[in-house]
A and B are shown apart, each in its own frame.
Chain A
Amino acid sequence: MTLVAAALAIWAAAWAINRRIAAVPSADRLARVLSPVIFGATVLVVWELLVRGFEVPEVILPPVSSIASRFVNSAGTLWIDFVQTFIKGALSGYAIGCTAAFITAVAIDRSPFLRRGLLPVGNFVAALPIVGMAPILVMWFGFDWQSKAAVVVVMVFFPMLVNTVQGLREAQPMQQDLMRTYAANYWQTLLKLRLPAAGPLIINGLKICATLALIGAIVAEFFGSPVRGMGFRISTEVGRLALDMVWAEITVAAIAGSAFYGLVTLIGRAANFWHPSQRRDLR
């Protein structure tokens, strides 16, 4: 019972600290970093204390500490799974799918008729439960990472396509006229005006696809995989009720997903430095 009381006390204390921090208007930048860190750490500590205090069985919710020790002890297995699912499956599919969508978008853009037809269809497909394609693609491409990459290609294609096509329309008519007065040809206009102008939406598409890619690769493994991979590990360890391993795998997925997303965001910031949303001096 003392553990539960301690959990409640820590929760209240952390919340009071965050309230204090929020009330100081001058420490704005510090508060933006400090508050979520305090909140996140509190959630983990309270999780640990409550699980131990209420003696929740391991098979329902393992405490944070046993997940952490499993994470360290099984680092080798986790790394093998990570390479299989993320590097081989998700990343290659992401690269192929996004490149294909980008090239298709530039090609479609030359025909207004095709563009008007593909945008609604693309928006429609982007809302479909595409992960359902996974069993079919596993049947076609076998159990190894190729089928996972194929699922990722199908999942990322349409969101990327729709964003790029919309991005290519971002350049204002006035700017396009200026390019014409420079006697710029199609490719010069594309490379020097329209692609840079499309930058924010392209990065937006890449960000959406970054999350989708990992989901696609993991879920595809639920339909069949070799004896390694994050999705494989999650589904088999759930069957053996080894939940600390499942949580360790989810931690890897969370770290990989956030790091990937963060990387795309950083690239976007460097590429779209000119865009109002990225300019610190205006914010």
Chain B
Amino acid sequence: MIRPGGTILPVFTVVLAIVMIWYLAAVLLNAAWAIDRAEKAGQDLTKAELVSETLSQDRPRLPAPHQVVIEIWETTAEKKITSKRSLIYHGWVTLSATLLGFVFGAGLGMLLAVAIVHDRATDLSVMPLVIGSQTIPILALAPMIIVVLNAVGLSGLIPKAIISAYLSFFPVAVGMVSGFRSPAAYELDLMKTYNANRMQLFWKLRVPASTPFLFPSLKVAIAASLVGAIVGELPTGAVAGLGARLLVGSYYGQTVQIWSALVVAATLAAALVTLMGAAERLTRRAMGTPP
């Protein structure tokens, strides 16, 4: 059903426009190489031949969408999951680091938020530094964390998860501090008239009141966590994972491989954020809040 105020038709139009621009850009960017090759072979290309040529190169400057889709199909559905060339395998390597890092980071962020809300000294001394540290390009630390942990003997999943945890920690901490502080003064006063102690105040008022802040920060955190895992895979010498596929692809000029890894990463990010959105709706329904 398409309502006048609906979003399905406009979104569809925009996505269609993006795909068309992509095809157009693929033709324009790859044309130079195709013309060059035809000249060397002494051929003359017609317009139609030129277009079909630009959309089917092995190593195009910009692969056409259908080339990427075919590559993804070949490296997911037609390869064994255990194969080193399967994108599902590489995607799983990245996803496991993302999820582990996210759980740790979000957990620590919530603990810090609890400490900040309940202890004024922590609030005054730590909170400004937490906010300030968001302006620091933390991803620049990634190669160092990987190499140092490698020197200590930790490699593989854990170092990547640490970078992910680091990135997902801050949005959750900052969001949850606002969330735990969101109850109004009269609500706090009401709890006081009930003679509620700090535990009851926390679990029965602050936690439920913080859910509108919890899920948006979790969405930001899980997206940041995925970026952390991908960047964390770059300095390991490109062993496994979507980041490794990006790096190998850029070493050997395999643009189709880079784009397919990118699209899989994007799909993963979208799926994770959608999952968080579903969790949000479930929680809201369970709490009886109108959507």
Q: Does A66 sit within 8 A of B, measured CB to CB?
A: no
Q: Does A257 sit within 8 A of B, measured CB to CB?
A: yes
The interface stretch among A97-105, A172-180, A192-200, A216-224 is A216-224
A19–B280 CA distance with the chains assembled, in angstroms = 37
Of the residues B123, B128, B139, B152, contact of A219 by C-beta under 8 Å: B139
The interface stretch among B85-93, B140-148, B181-189, B205-213 is B140-148
A19–B120 CA distance with the chains assembled, in angstroms = 8
The interface stretch among A1-9, A112-120, A162-170, A183-191 is A112-120
**CB within 8 Å for A60 and B121 given contacts A139-B253, A234-B144, A243-B144:** no
Q: Does A47 sit within 8 A of B, measured CB to CB?
A: no
Of the residues A39, A135, A243, A247, contact of B126 by C-beta under 8 Å: A39
B231 A36 Cβ-Cβ under 8 A: no
Contacts of B217 in A (CB 8 A): none
From 82 to 116 in chain A, residues with beta carbon under 8 angstroms from any chain B beta carbon are 113-116
- Chain A contact residues, majority secondary structure: helix
A261–B137 CA distance with the chains assembled, in angstroms = 11
Q: State the interface size on chain A (CB cutoff 8 A).
A: 65
B140 A60 Cβ-Cβ under 8 A: no
A257–B135 CA distance with the chains assembled, in angstroms = 5
A18 B125 Cβ-Cβ under 8 A: yes
Q: Does B129 sit within 8 A of A, measured CB to CB?
A: yes
A132 B10 Cβ-Cβ under 8 A: no
**CB within 8 Å for A127 and B137 given contacts A132-B246, A136-B255, A234-B143:** no
Q: Could you tell me which B residues sit within 8 Å of A by CB distance?
A: 5-7, 9-15, 18, 29, 61-62, 120-121, 123-129, 132, 134-141, 143-144, 147-148, 151-152, 219-220, 223, 226-227, 230-231, 234-235, 242-243, 246-247, 249-250, 253, 255, 258-259, 261-262, 265-266, 269-270, 273
B148 A61 Cβ-Cβ under 8 A: yes
Can you list 13 A-B pairs with a CB-CB distance of less than 8 A? A35-B125, A36-B129, A39-B125, A117-B11, A124-B273, A129-B227, A131-B231, A139-B250, A215-B138, A234-B144, A247-B144, A250-B136, A257-B135
Contacts of A21 in B (CB 8 A): 121, 124
From 35 to 65 in chain A, residues with beta carbon under 8 angstroms from any chain B beta carbon are 35-36, 38-40, 59-61
B121 A18 Cβ-Cβ under 8 A: yes
